[in-house]
Structure 1
Amino acid sequence: MSQTLSERLAQVLRLLADGEPHSGDAIAMRLGISRTAVWKLIGQARNQLGLEIEAVRGTGYRLSEPLELLEPARLSAALDPEALGRLNRLEILDSVGSTNSVLLERARSGLGAEQPVGDARGFDRGDVCLAERQTAGRGRLGRTWVSPYGRNLYLSVLWRFSLAPAELGGLSLACGVAVASALRRLGAREVGLKWPNDVHWRRRKLAGLLLEVGGESQGPSYAVVGVGVNLRLTGVDAAAIKQPWADLSQVLTTETPGTKLPSRNRAAAWLISALLAALDRYRHQGLTPFLAEWRALDAYPGAPVEILTGAQCIRGVYLGIDEQGALRLQRPEGVRSFAAGEVSLRPTPS
């Protein structure tokens, strides 16, 4: 599957996004191409992107439901004022392998660091990359993140630190708090956190984070924080997810019937605002100011769990996290701690 969309296909999708019928002649004239070329592009949208596009006799082509595509102006207008001061660069891509990969390449090559206005070395602002779809979206431990075109949120933030990489061990927890806070602001009141970096709703996955760090052993360092949020999943998309899941549309319908799904651009802006604020706070204060809120959002306090580390399965009672963000597990021989990035946590069957 190609990582990128042709500019022509992207133009067709922007025309069709309103959900209204558009004739093949009108599309062809607008883009300066033939009717046959339009027909081929519609086929690509159906076959490559899985979009449901109806061909209505006498009226033209129409998406089965409108898509709200991401727009730089609308997104920027919805950012918190403080976020604008923390933002170095914002880009929106039609299609990419992974937004994390885009920013990791930039971090490793040093690109994007030439324009920061605040700190001389750029430690006070971040780069943000969003995509309408990912062809190789990924989560922790090499898992795939389902990333259909134009429906959910897929974004990454690159932030540079004066800290050593080892000092970023609690950053995924801090960012988890930020994502949960943004989702609560959007109306999802019952969200919780699953160690180390999943956001759950009623113990189903609503959002996930992937943190990738690098840099010099004594600093400076960088972190790329990737976030995926399920806004509205189709049946086909949901079938590809191999764990219990939730989307924001379902959450809002259940918690507050009649509530509409918020604007996708606004949801992205609030998520970015929360992440930039958390990253800026972490560079000054570390994990400490996030601990109380993380514990309040913990979805599994006191639960019997299994810790999977390599081929080993360790069972015990989950005791939450310590001051460094490590998971604490009650075992017959005493309490053991596990660092983020080494294990997975799953509730044992009841």
Structure 2
Amino acid sequence: METGASRRREILHLLADGGLYSGAEVAARLGISRAAVWKTLRRAADELGLEIESRRGRGYRLRRPLELLEAARIRAALSKTAGARVAGIEVLEVVDSTNTRLMQCAADGGACGSVCLAERQRAGRGRSGRGWVSPFGANIYLSVLWRYTLAPAELGGLSLACGVAVARVLKSSGIAEIGLKWPNDLHWRRRKLGGLLLEVAGESQGPSHVVVGLGVNLHLSAEQARDIDQPWSDLTTALGDAAPKRNALAARLIEGLVDALADYGDAGLAPFLADWHAFDAYLGESVEVVTGERRVAGIAAGVAGDGGLLLDTAAGRQCFHGGEVSLRPGAAGTKQKGDFTTKATKQGK
């Protein structure tokens, strides 16, 4: 028997183009009653936060067209090398968190290269326990599981490598002003465009595994973003009609990440440092780093070979591997905050 979830997805696929479909037409295509169509769409609006217009005597339409994610389309767009590195691609309609899903998968023996994407997250996680705004079908929410023979301590620079990988993809997609904020925030014109959350587990001397979570804003309305407490942007704002399609973008991001994860295992952070410095959006800025009760002001001076943040202070150059950082008041305009932790942080919203 067809489940409610699969019926809902089938209806959403039909309405995804934003066109107007009569209840009778939808019912006939799906082989269900018009009452079942109405009930399914009402639940979709309530549970997924979708804006579905009902026009008396004419039918139903989505207020904003959707491109639903499809595992087969994403895999087909991968290069041969990346495709061999991806063990499997799972697309979920709703999940608490793609990272949580793959951390459990890892504990259960899941394969290196497992990928999970979701249309919506109920409890998407950002840095320092912050939530992640995850409206249905709007953005990219994905996680990748990777296994290493390395010890967890050797993965301290991995978030920077992954940030470089994503920045490369976004730049090649046409965003000329993409920048990185240490260690794993993606900015466009000083506004948050995306971010990473890396979660690592393993034996003290290895082996270890990491789940890399990535969120990228593709299309985010002001209403959807009302709970975001910092300047933000999305690819639609940055690129307009040239913004990439969701499935194509997901494939390119997955490919960039799995290639970076493999390269890091072979050579560490070194191959990524030049590009990280090129993407560094806050090099030379006056910032303040807060670690516990300690507050240190200085000039951002890039990153060290192990991924630590370099800060030129009144007491000389210092290196930080964790803490809360912000532009100092009056420095380059609006004050902005970010959690600089090498455990990685999915964009906190």
Structure-2 residue corresponding to 1:184: 171
Query: Does 2:283 correspond to 1:301?
Result: yes
Matched, 1:168 2:167: no
Provide the aligned length of Structure 1 versus Structure 2. 328
Q: Note the alpha carbon deviations across 1:120-149, whole angstroms, 9 max, x for none.
A: xxxxx5111101111111111111111100
Counterpart CA distance in 1 for 2:297 and 2:39 is 55
1:137-183 superposed Cα distances (whole Å, 9 cap, x missing partner):
11111111111000100000000001011100000000000010011
Instruction: Give the TM-score taking structure 2 as reference length.
Output: 0.90
Indicate the structure whose relative CO is greater, using CA pairs within 8 Å and at least 6 residues apart.
2
Superposed CA deviations along residues 182-224 of structure 1, whole A, max 9, x for unmatched, are 1111111110100011011111110100000001111110010
Deviation at 1:302, TM superposition (A): 1.1
Aligned residue in 2 for 1:77 = 76
Structure 1 CA distance for aligned equivalents of residues 291 and 127 of structure 2: 13
Please say if 1:11 is aligned against 2:10.
Answer: yes
Does the CA contact (< 8 Å) of 1:80 and 1:270 recur in 2?
no
Cα displacement string for residues 15-46 of structure 1 (whole angstroms, at most 9, x for unaligned residues): 21121222222323443433223222222222
- Describe the superposition over 1:327-346 as per-residue Cα deviations: whole angstroms up to 9, x where unpaired: 1112222222111xx21221
Distance 2:260 2:97 in 1: 22
2: distance between equivalents of 1:308 and 1:17?
46
Q: Secondary structure at the match of 2:206?
A: coil
Q: Report the Cα distance in structure 1 between the residues aligned to 2:242 and 2:186, rounded to whole angstroms.
A: 21
Secondary structure of the 2:100 match is helix
How far apart are residue 65 of structure 1 and its match?
Answer: 2.4
Within the candidate set 249, 255, 258, 1:276 is matched to 258
For residues 57-114 of structure 1, what are the alpha-carbon distances to aligned partners after superposition, in whole Å with 9 as ceiling and x for unaligned? 333111112101111222122212321111111111111010001100011121x23x
1:256 matched residue in structure 2: none
**Residue 318 of structure 1, CA deviation:** 1.2
Alignment correspondent of 1:133: 120
Write the mapping of 1:191-340 to structure 2, written as runs, cut at 5 A: 191-253=178-240, 259-339=241-321
Per mean C-alpha deviation after superposition, the further-off stretch among 32-41 and 93-102 is 32-41
Structure 2 alignment gaps of length 5 or more: 331-349
- Which segments of 5 or more consecutive residues in structure 1 lack a partner in the other structure? 114-124, 254-258
Partner residue in 2 for 1:346:
326
Separation in 1 of the partners of 2:56 and 2:96?
A: 36
Amino acid at match of 2:70: E
Q: CA deviation at 1:311?
A: 4.2
Q: Percent identity?
A: 56
Give, in whole Å, the separation in 2 of the partners of 1:247 and 1:303. Answer: 24
SS for the counterpart of 2:32 is coil
Quote the Cα distance in structure 1 between the aligned partners of 2:145 and 2:278: 27
In the alignment, is the contact (CA less than 8 A) between 1:55 and 1:62 conserved in 2? yes
* Aligned alpha-carbon RMSD (Å): 1.6
User: What CA distance in whole angstroms lies between the structure 1 residues aligned with 2:176 and 2:114?
Assistant: 29
Check the 8 A contact 1:195/1:345 in 2, yes or no: no
Deviations 1:225-251 (A, max 9, x none): 000000011121121211100100111
Contact 1:74–1:265, Cα closer than 8 Å, also in 2: yes
Letter in 2 for 1:244: P
Secondary structure at the aligned position of 1:239 is classed as: coil
Offset of residue 56 of structure 1? 2.2
1:28 aligns with 2:27: yes
